[in-house]
Structure 1
């Protein structure tokens, strides 16, 4: 878990510089620019609870409230939660062992965090466990085909995919020293491994979206816990 806790030492930089820079909302991979995907895939909440796995500094709480959800979150990093506490109710904990009872939330979201979690398939199992039958799960993450230690994005119009895409591993390799991955590292799952993680967790895939031009930086998935929705 030390990989995720690495955010403790960069939490202030993340909030001030990475999220708060002048191009923060315009960059396809910056979390601040992804609220439209939450709207498209998650939809309206009518006041129901929505668990955000790995909220970081809590930048999506306002958007979730706009959509009618009551956001709560679990994150491992105390440094990131120091910023998040004023934005939504939070608890410090491991995403692979959520401190939440079975079938207790209507929706779960994970936004730009799956590469921060060494065992994301275990996190997907936990998301399915805490969802009510018929509950919705929205994953928004870096695109597994075009982002990672194998992808050189120096030229935004011509991404070079080098050997390594098929390797599920952890790396600090990055095409830039101004981002996150050279600082905290990243896990990688090829597309097949990521999608099998949903299926193995008992999540039924419903919709997909890609974001970024000309080569997608983000891939999003809407899935639902199997079973009849609660009345």
Structure 2
């Protein structure tokens, strides 16, 4: 995953310290639950079948590499955390890199994804500009992330049937406040962009939005969208 502010202050990627826990405990629990947030459904529906390299920005341990291969793509990854990449090396070729400075040529990739990673990237608007730079004309970018309207330090999801939204959504901030001790935010923090700011970042990068998806119930937990570099 990308470097959070906590990690930057410590001079290393924040996920380095929790990489083993993430792989062996967090992901194990996620896999056992199936796809309750619709992450894999959204990725398949928005990206679709294809050929050629597909870069996963903030690839972490490479959890989605097999799904990309199943769609016909050749997955490659980029992540700042050496600890996470230790677990990814058997799943996909990956490079240790800042997502805001991707080591790929202009217009060289037909597809890029960012799956449950944007809140780990305090400079996500810069990442979006890099995505637009490396995409080939007509190339597709798929973003799958936590829903900015219903997930964040301002949202208490203790009771999933009655999510409590407190003041703070409009602020845009980085926080380690969390309603749960079983997730990631209380360990590495998370950045938040209100929905208009997130979508404006896509448009400012020169990408064209064309499809959207939500997942999770009864209140959406995941928001996904597809954008393209104009041909």
Give the TM-score taking structure 1 as reference length: 0.93
- Aligned partner of 1:42 in structure 2 is 47
Confirm or deny that 1:218 pairs with 2:222: yes
5+ unaligned residues in a row in structure 1: which ranges? none
Give the TM-score taking structure 2 as reference length: 0.93
Give the drift of 1:25: 3.5
Confirm or deny that 1:129 pairs with 2:136: no
Tell me which stretches of 4 or more aligned residues in structure 1 moved more than 4 Å. none
In 2, are the aligned partners of 1:55 and 1:73 still within 8 Å (CA)? yes
- The 2-side partners of 1:97 and 1:22 are apart by 30
1:152-184 C-alpha deviation (Å, 9 max, x unpaired): 000000100000000111100000111100000
Query: SS at 2:29's partner residue?
Result: coil
- Aligned partner of 1:173 in structure 2 is 177
5+ unaligned residues in a row in structure 2: which ranges? none
Query: SS at 2:13's partner residue?
Result: helix
- Aligned partner of 1:89 in structure 2 is 93
1:101-135 C-alpha deviation (Å, 9 max, x unpaired): 10000000000000000110000000000000010
RMSD, aligned α-carbons: 1.3
- Residues 65 and 196 (structure 1), Cα distance of their counterparts in 2 relative to 1, 3 Å cut: same
1:52-88 C-alpha deviation (Å, 9 max, x unpaired): 0011000100000000000001100000000000000
In 2, are the aligned partners of 1:18 and 1:24 still within 8 Å (CA)? no
The number of residues matched between the two structures is: 223
